[in-house]
Structure 1
Amino acid sequence: MNRRQAANSMAAMMTLMTSGVAHAQSSVTIYGLMDAGVTWVSNQGGHGNAILDQGIYYPNILGFRGVEDLGGGARAIFKLENQFNLANGQTVGDSSALFGRVAYVGLAKDGIGQLTFGNQYDFMWENLLKADASMTFGGYYNFRSGPYAGLGIPNNPTGASDFDRVAGSARVPSSVKFVSDRLGGFTFGALYGFGGVAGNFAKDRSISVGVNYQGGPLYVGAAYTDVKYQQINNGDDGIRNWGVGGTYAIGSALLNALFTETWNTFNGARVYAGQVGALYNFTPFLSFGADYQLMKGNATLDRILTQQVTATLSYRLSKRTNVYLEGAYQHAGNGSAPTFAQINGLYGQDAASSSSNQAIARVGIAHLF
C-alpha cells in the first residue's frame, strides 16, 4: 500500500467515524490492546537469553468496530482488526494485510443472530478461548506448543505453535459465518471458508461449527474445525481440530478445564492436549493464576509427552492497566528419542531449547483502551 492509498483509507475511515457521530443510532468504536515487557529465557539454542517481548499478556491490537441500526431489531455491522509488533511498529503476519487479524461485514437481527462475511476466527477460538487459562492470566506463553513439528501445519512459525487454533493465530479467509443469539443459555454457530478451486468445492475449503452454554457461574463450550490446505496433499487433506472446555466461578476463584485434539488427516499425526487451572482474586486489584497442561503425540509423533506449568501474579493499576509477573516451565520427552522443549510465543531460528526443558520469567505491563 502506497502513501496515497493509505491516505485514502484513512479518509474513508474518518468518514465512517464522522457518520457514527452524526447519527445517534450508528456508531464506530476504536479499541486496542497493548503489552510489553522483559522476558528471561533459560535456554534458546543452548544459551540463556533476555528479550524485550511484546504481545504476550494481550496481543497488540488496533481495531475498529461499527454498527448501524436498520430498524426492527436489525443492524449492519463490521469489524476491522490489525495486530502489530509494539517493539518496531510492524504488522504481525502478512505485512501486506492492513487488517490481517479480522476483517468482516454483515447483518445482525435480535433474537436470531449475526451473519458475517470476510476474514474471521473459527469456533476453536470463538468457543474455547473462554475456557482457556491463557485468556484470564497466562497469555500467549500459555497456549499449546511443543516439539510437534511433525504435525505439518502450513504457515505455522515453529511448526507446532498454537496447533489447536485456540489462540487465534490462524483465521479463515473468504469465509461466511453465522453465530446465533443466546437461546436458553445456548449459542451455536457455523462457518464455511471457500477454497476457490473451480470444479472442486471441497479442495482447500474450511468448515467449523461450535456450541456453548452460559448459565450462572458455569460456562461450557465445544468446537470442531476442519481446514484443508493446498500444501497438504494438494488441498485434499488438512488439519482437523476439536475440543471441549469450560469454566466455573466459585466466590473469588475461577476454575477452568480444556481438552483439544489436533489431527493431520494426510500423515496421521495427532496431538492430544489437556489443561486444568485456577485464577484467584485476592482483591479487585490483585490476582494469581496457575495451570498445568499435558500434551501427547501419537505413534506418528513418537508418542512425545510434553508438560507445562504456568503461573502469573497480576496487579491492576486501573481498570485498563495492569502490571504482572509470569513464569512458565516446559518439559518434553518420551524416554527414548531426544526432544527439545519450546514454549509458545518464542520464535526464531534458536527459539527451541537445546534440551528437553525450557523456562521463562517475565515482568510486563498491559493496557487496553
Structure 2
Amino acid sequence: MKKLTLVATAVMGLLSATGAMAQSTVTLYGLVDAGYNHVSGLKNGSFSGIASGIMEGSRWGLRGNEDIGGGYKAIFTLESRFEADTGSVTNRPASGNQLPDRVGATVNANLPVGLAGTPLALGTISAINNAIGTNAFGVNLAGNLFDRQAFAGLITPFGAFTLGRQYTPAYLTTATFDASGTQSSLAAGQVASLPAAFDIRLSNTVQYAIQTSGVTATLMYGAGEVAGSNSANRFLGGMVMYKADGFSVGFGHNEKKNEFGQKSLTNNVLGANVNIGPGTLYGMYATIKDENPSGLSPFFVTAGPVFQNAYNTAFRQDARLMHIGYKFVTGPHTIVTAFNRLDDKRAVNADTDSYGATYTYALSKRTNLNAVLTRFNNKGQGQIAPGGNGFLGGVTASAGTDSTNVAFGIRHIF
C-alpha cells in the first residue's frame, strides 16, 4: 500500500526531491476516503451514517516544481479538502453545535456575584454557546478552497524556503510519532480535539527546512497581520528529528499569541519510535498550555468584557497528552493498536483515555479497505466523542459519558 502521511506531503518530502525529475512538472494528486461510521454516547443516542475521512481526510491537490539549475528548484503546493459523502468542503461534528457541559458551568461560576445564575446570565450564556458552537466547531467552516495547504517556495543547496498556508512543526512531530499517523479515531490528537490542543495548519507563514545525515529540522514564523500590532496572532515554531536504522526521535515546539498579543496556545512534543519484533513501537509526550485562548473576542461584542473574561477561563488549557502504540505490517495487512491519555491539569479535570485498533487490507498499491474500533473513556468533566482524520467527533451527551467508534471504509489514492 502506498503510504501517504502528513510528513510525506509537507516540506520534508520536498527536500528529498532528486535531480532525476523533469525540468518542470505539475502533478494532480489526491485521496478519496469514505465509509460507514458509528459513534455511541451522543446526546441523541448514536450516530450511524456515511462519513468522509475515516482514515484520512479526502483531498485533491496540485504539486509542481521547476528545476532552475545549480541545485535550485521552485516548488508549489495547492491542496483542497472535500467531503466524499456530500461534495462539500466543510463539515460539522455529529454532536452539532453542542459545547462541553463544563463551559457553561465554568462561565457561570466566574461571573460576578449578583449576575451568576440569573435569567439574564443564563440566557446570555446559552446564546454565546450557540454562536461559538455554530461558528467555531467544525472543519473549514469558512469554505476556503485550499484550506489544507497553499504555499510556494524555493529548494536550495542549503535548505528549503516556503511561504503560505502550511502544517505547523509541533503538529508534524505528533504525526510522525503517532503509531496511526493521525489516521482514524485512534489518533492521539482525537482525545484533545475540542478545544483544539494543536494548531494543525496556519496561514501567512514562512518556513525554513533542512534535511541532512538523518536530521530533519524546520523553523516557522507566522505573521499575525493585524493592523497596529506586530505581536497579535504571531506564531513561532520549530522541530528537529533524527532518523537512524531501526529508530527515530524528535522534538517539536509551537507557540502563538492571540488577537490581543497575549501568549496563547503553546505546545512541546517529544516523540520516538523503535523497531521491535515484527513491527514498530511508538511513544509520544506533549504539553498543552493556553492561558489566553485565541479567536473568542468576536463573540462578545454585545455581551461585554465580563462574559469574555469568564469564557477565557472556560476555554483555557493545561494538559499532558501521552501516546503509546504499535504498528505491524505484513504483506497486504496493516494493524495498529494504541492507547492515548489526555491528563487535564485544570480544576475541572476533564480527562479522556482512548484505546483500540485499526486494520487495513491493501487491495492494490492505491486502494485499501479499513476497519476501526476505538473506545473513549471520559473521566471527570471529560466529554470528547471520537471523530476521524477528516472530521471532529464533537462531544458526548454529558460529562463523563463514554463513547465507542466503529467504522468501515475504503480509501483510494491517486
Question: What is the TM-score with the length of structure 1 in the denominator?
Answer: 0.81
| Distance in structure 1 (CA, Å) of the matches to 2:387 and 2:37 | 13
Aligned identity (percent) is 27
Give the SS at the match of 1:124. Answer: helix
Distance apart, 1:135 and its partner CA = 1.2
Unpaired runs of 5+ residues, structure 1, are: 1-22, 149-157
Give the SS at the match of 2:171. Answer: helix
CA contact (8 A) 1:66 1:77 kept: yes
| Distance in structure 2 (CA, Å) of the matches to 1:363 and 1:47 | 20
Change (3 A) 1:351 1:270: closer
| Distance in structure 2 (CA, Å) of the matches to 1:204 and 1:291 | 34
| Distance in structure 2 (CA, Å) of the matches to 1:252 and 1:109 | 38
Match of 1:20 in 2: none
CA contact (8 A) 2:39 2:48 kept: yes
Give the SS at the match of 1:132. Answer: coil
| Distance in structure 1 (CA, Å) of the matches to 2:171 and 2:65 | 23
Match of 1:273 in 2: 321
Change (3 A) 1:159 1:280: closer
| Distance in structure 2 (CA, Å) of the matches to 1:312 and 1:96 | 31
CA contact (8 A) 1:144 1:344 kept: no
Alignment of 1:246-257 (within 5 A): 246-250=272-276, 252-257=278-283
CA contact (8 A) 1:70 1:76 kept: yes
Match of 1:352 in 2: 396
CA contact (8 A) 1:175 1:191 kept: yes
Q: What is the letter of the counterpart of residue 144 of structure 1?
A: G
Match of 1:209 in 2: 238
Match of 2:413 in 1: 368
Q: What is the letter of the counterpart of residue 240 of structure 1?
A: T
Distance apart, 1:96 and its partner CA = 4.3
| Distance in structure 2 (CA, Å) of the matches to 1:339 and 1:25 | 53
Alignment of 1:173-252 (within 5 A): 173-182=203-212, 184-230=213-259, 234-250=260-276, 252=278
Match of 1:28 in 2: 26
Give the SS at the match of 2:153. Answer: strand
Does residue 1:318 correspond to 2:364, yes or no? yes
CA contact (8 A) 2:152 2:162 kept: yes
Does residue 1:160 correspond to 2:195, yes or no? yes
Give the SS at the match of 2:180. Answer: helix
Match of 2:172 in 1: 126
Match of 1:65 in 2: 63
* 1:132-178 alpha-carbon deviations (Å, 9 max, x no partner): 12317x425524244x7xxxxxxxxx7324x234xx3xx11111101
Does residue 1:340 correspond to 2:383, yes or no? yes
Change (3 A) 1:185 1:95: same
Give the SS at the match of 1:129. Answer: helix
Does residue 1:309 correspond to 2:355, yes or no? yes
Match of 2:40 in 1: 42
Change (3 A) 1:347 1:274: closer
| Distance in structure 2 (CA, Å) of the matches to 1:48 and 1:344 | 13
| Distance in structure 1 (CA, Å) of the matches to 2:141 and 2:70 | 40
The counterpart of 2:346, out of the listed 274, 281, 299, is 299
Does residue 1:114 correspond to 2:160, yes or no? yes
Q: What is the letter of the counterpart of residue 129 of structure 1?
A: A
Distance apart, 1:242 and its partner CA = 1.2
CA contact (8 A) 2:177 2:273 kept: yes
- The higher-RCO structure (CA 8 Å, 6+ apart) is 2
| Distance in structure 2 (CA, Å) of the matches to 1:353 and 1:343 | 13
| Distance in structure 2 (CA, Å) of the matches to 1:343 and 1:94 | 19
| Distance in structure 2 (CA, Å) of the matches to 1:272 and 1:326 | 25
Q: What is the letter of the counterpart of residue 314 of structure 1?
A: T
Distance apart, 1:50 and its partner CA = 0.8
CA contact (8 A) 2:171 2:198 kept: no
Aligned length: 320
Distance apart, 1:205 and its partner CA = 0.5
CA contact (8 A) 2:184 2:372 kept: no
Unpaired runs of 5+ residues, structure 2, are: 1-20, 91-139, 293-312
Does residue 1:331 correspond to 2:377, yes or no? yes
* 1:109-135 alpha-carbon deviations (Å, 9 max, x no partner): 13x210011111110233331111231
